[in-house]
Amino acid sequence: MKSVSKKFLILWITALIKLSWQAKQQPSVIVLREAEMKFDENYCNVTSNHEKKPGEIYKLGYRMDLFVEVQTFFVKVGIALPTANGKFESFIQNTVLDVCKYLKNNNANLILRLFFNGNFGKKKFPKACPIKPDVYYIENFRINDNMLTIRSGETKFLITVDFCTKLSENSRMHCILSGKFYGELKDQAKWQQEVENMSKIEAKN
């Protein structure tokens, strides 16, 4: 495993410990509130097809039509947590993962392996680099089905994911697709009650 992967795992575990400071007896659930996606129209077109329930995005779905061949492909991941004044502050800053190296050796990067082997309803991912123009997609991706169950206090979070390429070895990364995912860790019992209340309100309207 590359050192960057080890560093990311250590930071991720540290983040979970930080989220567990006010641990409760009931396990937490991950509630995705909002998902934003921006893309470079010269490279691709991206559409979303999310399944929503009251108060949350229940399942994620994306389709990307890639127009041009991509020689190199990187994923940058960041995690931000709220400060005392409610603003998000970076906790894990832009860890860079090399997708092409992963595709050459599926055991090379644990983080990418967990994602590529995730439990999706349907999926089509690139299989090798350069990545050819084609349609790539994920369907019915539910975060709580693809994450470890943790016990923690309640907190909001922001996850940023950028998909980037380099036009040459020494050039800066150009991000062709950028996503922001806003969510919360919620006490399971409280969240279930909140869902029931929202469902009753929705039924009356």
| Mean pLDDT, all residues of the chain | 81
Distance separating alpha carbons of residues 142 and 50, to the nearest angstrom: 10
**Of 152, 73, 56, nearest to 116 (Cα)?**
73
Residue 179 has pLDDT above 80, yes or no: yes
Phi-psi region at 197: left, alpha or beta (left = phi > 0; alpha = psi -120 to 50): alpha
Reported as half-sphere exposure (CB side, CA atoms, 13 A), residue 91 has a value of 21
Domain 3-204: CATH architecture, name and number where available: Distorted Sandwich (2.70)
Stated pTM of the model: 0.77
Per-residue pLDDT of 122-178, as tens digits, reads 899 999 999 999 999 999 887 765 554 445 567 888 999 999 999 887 889 999 999
Residue 1 has pLDDT above 50, yes or no: no
What b-and-e string marks burial along 32-51, b requiring 16 or more CB atoms within 10 Å of the CB? beebeeebbeebbebeeeee
Task: Give the pLDDT of residue 185.
Answer: 84
Q: What is the largest CA-CA distance in the chain?
A: 59
Beta-bridge partner residues of 138: 62, 123
Which DSSP letter does residue 86 get?
A: S
**Of 38, 94, 81, 93, nearest to 62 (Cα)?**
38
Distance separating alpha carbons of residues 152 and 143, to the nearest angstrom: 16
Give me 172's structure tokens. Answer: 């800066």
92, 81 Cβ separation under 8 angstroms: no
Give me 134's structure tokens. Answer: 């084609």
Who has greater pLDDT, 104 or 188? Answer: 104
Q: Which residues fall within 8 angstroms of residue 170, CB to CB, at 6 or more apart?
A: none
* Domain residue extents for the chain: 3-204
Who has greater pLDDT, 89 or 142? Answer: 89
For 26, 76, 104, 164, 165, the CA distances from 175, given in Å and listed in that order, are 39, 9, 22, 4, 6
